Chain A
C-alpha cells in the first residue's frame, strides 16, 4: 500500500481531526483533612503569619508630638515610611528595593535547602487557601461530604450551606482587605471611620479590591494560582538540585503497589497499598507517586497521610518523606545513605549574596545623614550684572531636616573667593522638624573675582557648633572674558 498521502488527503485529515481544546478543563480538588507533624507545623505557621498580618498595624510607638504613633506605617500622603524609630523619606526608597532583593535571595537560599518550603508553608496564597478550606470543611464537612453536596440537586439545605460558606469567605476576605489599608493609614481612627462610612473613597476602593482578590484567589482559584498564574514554580527548578530536601516517594520500596489484605504476605510486592490517601489530602490534587512535578508545592501533607497508612498496615514509615534526591538514590541502591549536605557551592553562593546585600543595606542605613542639601541654580538669566559691576547668581537651596527637632543651621560657600551670600526674605535659616526648608540664596562677587564661564562651587550646611552636616555641589557662572 502506498503510504504517501496526497495533498488533498493531508488537508482532509487535518480538518477531520477532533478540535483540540486549548486548555485542560479544571478538575475540582476536594482536599481531605489530615493530621500529623506537617499539618501541625502548617497550622502553627498559619496562626503566626495571620496574627502578624492582622495585629502589626495596631502596634503603637510613641514618637512625640506631630508624628504618627503607629509602629509601622507607610504614609503615602505625607510621603514618609515610619518603621519604629526609623523614618524613611521618599528619596530613600532604595531601602525597599534592598528588602525586595533580600527577599528574593532569601527565597533562593531557602528553596535550594528545603525545596518549595515558601510555597508549602508561608506563601499568602497557601495560608489564605488553607484558612478558606478550614472554613469550608467546618461548614460543608470533609472531602466525601463536600463531593456529595456538590453532586446533590439544588435544595434549601444546599443553598443554606453554600450561602453560609460564601458569606464566611467574604467576611474573611473583607477583614483581609481591611487590614491591608491599616498599613497605610492610622489604624484605630480609620477603623471607626470605615464602619461609620466616613473613610475616603480610596480606602473603600482598596478594601473592595483586596476583598475581591482574596475571595477569588483563596476561595475559587486556589491551586490554579500556583499552577498557572505564579512564575515561581516555573523557575524554582533552577534553584533545586539533588541535595535539596523535597517531598519524595520511595518508588523502589512502594512498587508494585496494590491492595493488601491484613495478614497477607508482603513478599513480591511494594509497600504502597494504593489507599490514595496521599492524593486525597493533596491541596494541589496531584499524585506524588508520579515523582517530582511542577504542581507540587512541598507542603508535606502527603507525608502525614502516608505515615498514617504505613502505621496501620505495619510497614516502616517514610514511604513518602522529606529527603534529597541523592539520598533517595543511595537508598534505592541499598548503599550507605549519605548525610544531607546543606553547605554546597549553591547555598554558599546564595548565603554570600545574602550577607553582601545585608551588609550593603546596613552600611547605607548606618551612614544615613539627618540633613540633606539640594541646590538648583536659576538659569534665566545665567548671571546678573549689578549696577556697580558685581556679578550675581541666584540659587534655590533646599535643606532636608530628618530629625524631630527644629534646626537652626548656617550656610556657607566653598570654591569662590570674595563671594557674599544673601538670603531672600527676613526669615532665619531654620528648618522645621521632619520637613524641607526652601531658601532663595543670592551669591554675589566683585567683577574682578568673577570667573570667566562656569566654576564649580560647593554649598555647605553646618550646625550651630560648626560641624558640617551636608554639602552639595553647584556652579557659579560669570561673563565669558
Chain B
C-alpha cells in the first residue's frame, strides 16, 4: 500500500479525520470526506493501490463534486477530471492541467489499522 504523503506534515499540529475502512473504497473511484472544521476532501484509491486526497470543490464549477470525477492519468500524471466541465487536476500537487490559473488544495492521507484518514488542513494550498 502506497500513500502519497508529504514530508512537510510531520509537525504535531496535524490533525486527522477518519474517512472509512480501506476496503470500502473502490479502486479507481473517489469518496467525499467532511473534514473537521468544515472543509471537504475528495479521497481516491487509485488502481495501483495509491491513496490521494485533494479539495472536493471544483474551482471552475464552484460545487463540491471533485470526488465524483473519473480518475486516470495524463501523460503518466495521476489526475481526476471534474465531473462538471472535465478539467483535469493532478492528484500529486493539485494543479489544473487544462488551466494553470486554478488548482486544488492537496490533503495528506494516512492508513492506520486498515482505516484511511485525511488531514484536516491542506498540506498545499493553491
- Asked if A and B are interacting partners, one says no
